[in-house]
Chain A
Amino acid sequence: MTPASLIEVDFTLNGQPARVRCEPTRRLLSVLREDLGLTGAKPACGIGRCGACLVWMDGKPVNACLLMACRLQGRSIETIESVGQTEQSAPVREALARAGGVQCGYCGPGLVMMLTHLYRQQPRPDAREASAQLCGQLCRCTGYGGLQRAVDLLFAD
């Protein structure tokens, strides 16, 4: 790979300006984990099926394994490293923990990102809508019992 084919992109990462120099097709997930040391988003399928790498771009959920660096210019990316520390995700984390929505935990950061996104929507979706929105989040440990209980707690009418 010659340097000429690399691009430089400026974006906002967790509220701070960030700049990376990489191939245009490099995925955001690699940028986050390998280049910037943010390992909260997890690689598990690489094809956008499992949601373990879910982050927000301009406030909307995206699978970081699919998003190419060439689309990052000027965007705002938020990851679990920031969202997971803030009050906005606290009810979600608490509900998942209390309801038994976490075991091995590898799907957890992506779940929190998706659920927090749904939880802060106005109007807030009901439990049925929220459940339907979770069709891209795969958990292999819990059988979703804890997740469903958390959803019912969070999105009760």
Chain B
Amino acid sequence: MAEHPHAPRSPRQVRDPASLLAEARPRADADAKLSGRTRYPTDRIEAGQLHAAILGSPLPHARILSVDASAAAGLPGVHAVVTAADIPGPALFGLRHVDRPALCGDRVRCIGDPIAAVAADTPEIARAALAAIRLRLEPLQVIDDALAALAPGATALHGRSNLLHQVAHRRADAAQWAAAEAACTHVVEAVYESPRQMHVCLETEGGVAEPDGAGGLVLWWGCQNPERDRQVIAAMLGLPPGRVRVVGSPVGGSYGAKDELTVQPIAALLAWKSGRAVRLHLSRPASTDLGVKRHPMRIRMRSGCDGDGRLRFHEVDILADTGAYATHGPEVLDAAAEHAVGPYDWPALSIHARLAYTNNGIAGAFRGFGAVQVQWALEQQIDRLARACGIDPLAFRQRNLSAPDAPGPLGQQVVASDGPRLALAQIARHPLWIERACNPRCDDRHRWGLGLALVHRSDGFGRGGPNGGRLALALAPDGQIELRVSLTEMGQSLPEAIRALAARHLGCAETDVRPVIGDSALAPDTGAAAASRSTTLVHRALECEGRAWIDSLTEAAAARLRTPASSLRFGPGGWSDADGRPVLGLAQLAADLVGPLPSRVIAVPPEETPSAVPGAHWVFGACAALARVRIDTWTGALRVERLVIASALGPVISPMGLLGQMEGGALMGQGLVTTEHLDMREARYLARNLDGYQVPLLADAPQIELWAIEDLMPDDPVGPRGAGEIAVNIAAPAIVNAVSAAVGMPVDRLPIAPDDILDALERHP
């Protein structure tokens, strides 16, 4: 095909919604889950376990003057009371910034910050013991706003300043900038506020920590990175990592919430001190207090285009609130800064982003990761500029796309991609777009609006992050090919992706493959199941070394059959001869081999942008979407009727997995726009359960239609892009733009409350 790679093109390989559905096969674990047989870590309830309870800080910011646990420790039925003084190793943990105490020793920095914990025979005794702990706190100035946190004289939560991280990028010198501004006919400026969204995993944080009887500890606890959890816990207990085992799968929902440890160290400490199995399962209110949230951000954007609708400059200032501890905060900020650029070509660009410590809970990883917050703001800017120019929003975006081989958002080298172009082209041919003039606009009571959005988003961690990973292939005694990863299954269909990828790369049947997941004792360190990286990582590992490993099995099969390897063909179930007759099954080979069965650890090297831009990404996927909303002008109620998504993520590995990730992510993005903000006042949560914090229900779900574009650039070196997050990224801006179109109001703050809509209607009836 002699097509010029830069020429705009239409997608060729597109899975339409009907074919995706037709090919979607049930998950292997579906019936076990649906009939209640799946045992989650929090279901490991057994006689003889102790019950844990945690004493959290009643104040959002205070100095700890004293903790007297002697009376609690003396209560009958209490087996262990722990405070910071009981931690044998390092008391602080953190993904990259080590600043979060497993138990606070001298100071608490957010509401519920753990101070002490108890393990007792019953939950009642544990609670009574907590009540018997005498705590003296000296209140400190409460920092409940990111701007106030950075003001001179503000009490520093850590070190000397509340500025945890900042990023500055600039393209264009002063003269170029002035020229860019001067060329603009239209300039739009707004300050956008993105809310504190909560993950609401249905399974709250919990599990069991128990001594293994051999001087070590086993932790059954849902997480995204068992290997990391065991390293943190082993260090905290002063043990070699090999003495701690973490089984982190299956997980009852995570979405980033369980990427970082929360209270696992406390459970481990209690088990270690008491020498008994300890169970801890947070109530929803406790989970609200202790879990991370999506970073609230205040984003000022000032952007301009010329009279022809060409973007000229983009100025972004981001202030993000990371709360009391860093966790993933710096990387979230890096992602926000990078994605504030979008897939657009800005001749002049200035981005400044700051991340402040406050006493407002803890913000961390959340599906969509930093990009979600800025993308709806950016897509509002783009829509506003298009409207100012009188150009339709699709043509406006097409006109301003970066070239497929252009540098990435921060000027870094990236994998070439025309995903944004293809996704827009797919949307352009959708009836909802073509017939937009015929869409209903209003009736006596309602108004409708159509919103378009385009996003690209990164795969993997940014440059300098833990991007490598190891996994293992092994022939099991029963003849199954095991693919062993320490990644966990959280609902994202990891086992399905592994089976499909293994069958594709190894040439076996999916039924020949047994995924072994989520157990630090059974797999090498694969890293985190996060950042949309799992599928791509497994794909790369198998692409590099899968065939070679199968060839080594074929050698063994040939030796066993006393025939040259070249005469054997490997396929589903095992080997056949030149005539296609089966001659040796995998199970037979496994049974016949003497000594250890063949296995191979595959190390996938980190693949990062070669450009020296810290945190910048190398690979991007893209999505475009159309949302249609209906506004009730009497009540201000907002109903998302339809969401059409065109994804450009490369080959579809698991149609069911893709569909599920896209539909689920989209509704999560919708929640950000419609209801989800966990408000705080004076650093205390105004809601701690699902009565005050509302997530979308079935009745709120729109009709979602997914068109999956499989085209990649010629010689694309990556293959499938992760699909775990991008639907959150695309749904929010599409819905925001639809509301804006329906009501004719700029949207500057999420979620959009009915009152906001009624106010806008009153101003502009």
Contacts and interface: CB of A to CB of B under 8 A. Distances in A.
Interface of B is mostly: loop
Contacts of A47: 284, 689-691
Contacts of A102: 27, 30, 33-34
B701 A143 contact: yes
Interface in A90-114: 92-93, 96-98, 100, 102-109, 111-112
B203 A103 contact: no
Interface residues of A, number: 55
A37 to B, nearest CB: 7
B698 A131 contact: yes
Interface stretch (A56-64, A66-74, A117-125, A144-152): A144-152
Interface stretch (B232-240, B249-257, B354-362, B747-755): B249-257
Contact of A84 (B35, B42, B201, B660): B35
A97 B255 contact: no
A47 B694 CA distance: 13
B200 interface: yes
Interface of A is mostly: loop
A134 interface: yes
Nearest to B39: A39
10 closest residue pairs by CB, A with B: A40-B36, A105-B33, A84-B35, A104-B491, A103-B491, A106-B252, A143-B667, A80-B36, A97-B30, A145-B663
A113 to B, nearest CB: 9
Given A104-B250, A108-B34, A138 B664 contact: no
A42 B26 CA distance: 23
A146 B660 contact: yes
B188 to A, nearest CB: 32
Nearest to A146: B660
B38 interface: yes
B281 interface: yes
A4 interface: no
A56 to B, nearest CB: 13
A20 interface: no
A154 B696 CA distance: 23
A50 B693 CA distance: 12
Contact of B667 (A39, A81, A112, A144): A144
Contact of B699 (A40, A42, A89, A131): A131
Contacts of B438: none
Contacts, number: 175
B757 interface: no
Contact of B34 (A1, A33, A52, A112): A112
Interface of B: 21, 24, 26-27, 29-40, 42-43, 45, 124, 199-204, 250-255, 281, 283-284, 490-493, 656, 659-660, 663-668, 689-691, 695-699, 701, 704
B663 A143 contact: yes
A135 B689 contact: no
A138 B202 contact: yes
A3 B124 CA distance: 14
A46 interface: yes
B491 A141 contact: yes
A41 interface: yes
Contacts of A41: 36
A148 B699 CA distance: 10
10 contacts: A80-B36, A84-B35, A93-B35, A97-B30, A103-B660, A104-B250, A145-B701, A146-B660, A146-B663, A147-B698
A80 B26 contact: no
A137 interface: yes
B155 to A, nearest CB: 35
A28 B240 CA distance: 42
A97 B26 contact: yes
Contacts of A141: 253, 491, 660, 664
Contacts of B124: 1
A52 B568 CA distance: 52
A85 B254 CA distance: 28
Contact of B202 (A92, A97, A140): A140
